[in-house]
């Protein structure tokens, strides 16, 4: 029984491991997605695109996801973390409506869709707490780790 549980835990650990997994995170992580190219040009003649900025808020583990539409400069450089370098401008609801009336942005805006994995790992703190309590309850029901082993 214990070997089976150990094998299950090892395979579960391998399934969720990867390059993007971190031991503990604090703060906010940004990710960017370009949604649609725009015909308008920036103040210096640069090509623009409508994008979406996703924010994942973490305290040891991710607990919340938010996001907003942004105006992005296409083809600009990226920093070592893959984030665009000062190349986006957050669009408020008023600015979006103003740009839609002027014909610079599509109406309606293209939707941003998160994958099931983004939701799973964006709210991992909230499903890890009940999962840990469930595992602790199972161990206590099975008598694993109760200290009864080796006594006569």
What are the pLDDT digits (tens) for 64-92?
Answer: 889 999 998 877 667 777 766 656 788 99
Asked whether residue 150 is assigned to any structural domain, the reply reads: no
Task: Extract the residue ranges of the chain whose pLDDT is less than 70.
Answer: 1-5, 8, 11-23, 76-77, 83-87, 145-152
Asked whether residue 1 is assigned to any structural domain, the reply reads: no
Query: Could you tell me if 58 and 132 are in contact, meaning their C-beta atoms sit under 8 angstroms apart?
Result: no
Q: Domain count for the chain, please give it.
A: 1
Q: Which domain holds residue 120?
A: 23-142
Q: Kindly report whether the peptide bond that precedes residue 107 is cis, defined as omega within 30 degrees of 0.
A: no
Tokens 């099975």 belong to which residue?
A: 142
pTM given for the model:
0.66
The Cα 69–Cα 67 span in angstroms is 7
DSSP calls for 11-58: HHHHHH-STT--S-EEEEEEEEEEEEEEEEE-TTS-EEEEEEEEEEEE
Asked whether residue 7 is assigned to any structural domain, the reply reads: no
Asked whether residue 152 is assigned to any structural domain, the reply reads: no
Asked whether residue 16 is assigned to any structural domain, the reply reads: no
CA dihedral 18, 29, 69, 124 (to 10 degrees): 60
């Amino acid at each position: 029984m214990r070997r089976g549980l150990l094998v299950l835990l090892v395979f579960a650990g391998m399934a969720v491991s990867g390059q993007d997994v971190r031991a503990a995170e604090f703060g906010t992580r940004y990710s960017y997605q370009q949604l649609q190219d725009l015909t308008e040009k920036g103040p210096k003649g640069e090509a623009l695109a409508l994008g979406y900025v996703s924010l994942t808020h973490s305290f040891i583990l991710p607990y919340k996801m938010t996001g907003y539409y942004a105006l992005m400069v296409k083809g600009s450089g990226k920093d070592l973390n893959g984030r665009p370098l000062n190349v986006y401008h957050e669009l408020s609801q008023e600015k979006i409506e103003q740009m839609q009336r002027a014909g610079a942005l599509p109406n309606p805006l293209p939707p941003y869709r998160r994958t099931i994995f983004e939701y799973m790992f964006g709210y991992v703190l909230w499903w890890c707490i009940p999962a840990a309590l469930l595992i602790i309850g199972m161990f206590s029901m099975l008598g694993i780790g109760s200290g009864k082993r080796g006594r006569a």
